[in-house]
Amino acid sequence: MQSDTRPEPQSEIAARVWALAWPMILANLSVPLLGLVDTAILGHLSDSRYLSAVAISTSLLAFLYWGFGFLRMGTTGASAQLLHKPQDANALLVKAAALSLLIAAFIWLGGIALSNIGLRLMNTPASLIELAQSYLHIRLFSAPAVLCTYVIVGWLIGRQQTRWPLVIAVATNGVNIALDYVFIVGLDMSSDGAALASAISEYCGLAIGLWAVRDALIATLGHGLRRSWQYGPALKQLLNSNVHLFIRTAALLFSFAFFTAQGASFGQATLAANAILLQLMLVSAYGMDGFAHAAEALIGEAFAQGRRDALLKIVVCCARYCLATALGASLLLWLGERQVLNLMTDIEAVRNIASGHYAWLIVLPLLCAPSYLLDGVFIGALKTEAMQWTMLASVILIYLPVWLLSKDLGNHGLWLSFCAFNLARSVSLGALLKPAILKPLN
């Protein structure tokens, strides 16, 4: 139904975008900051095995945890489209949380049983198997906390309450960093200490998240769970949209796992250097994602109301912010190369390899920026099938073929294929913007 609301001027939309984006930018930046601290602390230990073990096991863990990131994305899009229907939105929160706990139970049991197989599929050197497996088993105990927090954060973003996700992220990662120092440096627990710090902090984040949504949970319990279950999107509808996001996310995580596994085949030092560069890439990625989160919330609201004029203005506004962020990130990475690498590790072999591949890192923010923003646009509109197919095409038709053609270039060929993959994501999503989102509202 077409809204009768007056068109918002671009300045008002810009103000709304910024109000939603800045808490998410800070929240998102705290995530790679944690990775950087982990990497820096482990990178300064006498043996690079600990950093390499964490790099491999974290990549595998992404399939078990981050592979279910659709719980956050799908909840955000649905919550945004139910912005003006609080009872339906509260029911959505309960359904999505129940789904997250069910999935967490399977992850907990299956992950422990299959961890050894997964590590061998990642080409993990024999010297790292025991360390990586120990890290994984500790981290798996936090599965319920991780997935339920995904749902809570997604619901809050969709409700345009982005300051709570900031509090959750900063508190979680602050506790993690403090415990990293205690367990790794103080108690000399190396990679196991990093895992234990993460697991404890993730339950702290869940506790804060539950407090943030307490009013919605109390209201739902007040109506009765059985009655509340009748409101909001049907569980089948929720599952259908999330299947596309699951496949899309699995393909994305495959690209990172493939990158890590191929890097491992070039040796322990190359694996560690690639881990450092990927962590630095995530700093710029999470910064740009703040505007993607703002787009999710605002696009979802505008799409549900059929306001095409608002959709265009939101996309243009977020695109400008995203481009400026990408340019700033590339510039800062270029200017701070020596200082950043010296901060990340004092292992000379690792630092030299990272420096030799640093140019790829500088161009990545510009290649990735459109895909990050458009992910947010498509999530808000719940056009998840398009996200699935563009991701699969980018992996199968671009990433893997480019890698096969450039294998003779070694690790440079790996970075070339990774950059081509991210560019393909940006181009393919951009090509579908008008037919998938704007055209239906004409």
Is pLDDT of 193 > 50?
yes
Enumerate the H helices of 8-142 as residue ranges. Answer: 10-43, 49-64, 70-81, 86-121, 126-139
Res. 309 pLDDT band, cuts 50 70 90? confident
Q: What is the mean pLDDT of the chain?
A: 84
Is pLDDT of 235 > 90?
no
- Taking only the tens place, the pLDDT of each residue in 253-308 is 889 888 988 988 888 888 888 988 987 887 778 778 889 999 999 998 888 887 77
Q: Is 268 buried (19+), middle (13-18) or exposed (0-12) by CB count in 10 A?
A: buried
Dihedral, 62, 171, 294, 158 alpha carbons, nearest 10: 80
Q: Is 203 buried (19+), middle (13-18) or exposed (0-12) by CB count in 10 A?
A: middle
Q: What is the pTM of this model?
A: 0.82
Spatial separation of the C-alpha atoms in residues 383 and 12, rounded to whole Å: 26
User: Can you give the pLDDT at residue 1?
Assistant: 39
- Taking only the tens place, the pLDDT of each residue in 83-103 is 888 888 888 899 899 889 998
- Taking only the tens place, the pLDDT of each residue in 431-440 is 999 887 776 6
User: Can you give the pLDDT at residue 346?
Assistant: 78
Res. 319 pLDDT band, cuts 50 70 90? very high
Res. 312 pLDDT band, cuts 50 70 90? confident
Is pLDDT of 377 > 70?
yes
Return the higher-pLDDT residue of 261 and 41: 261
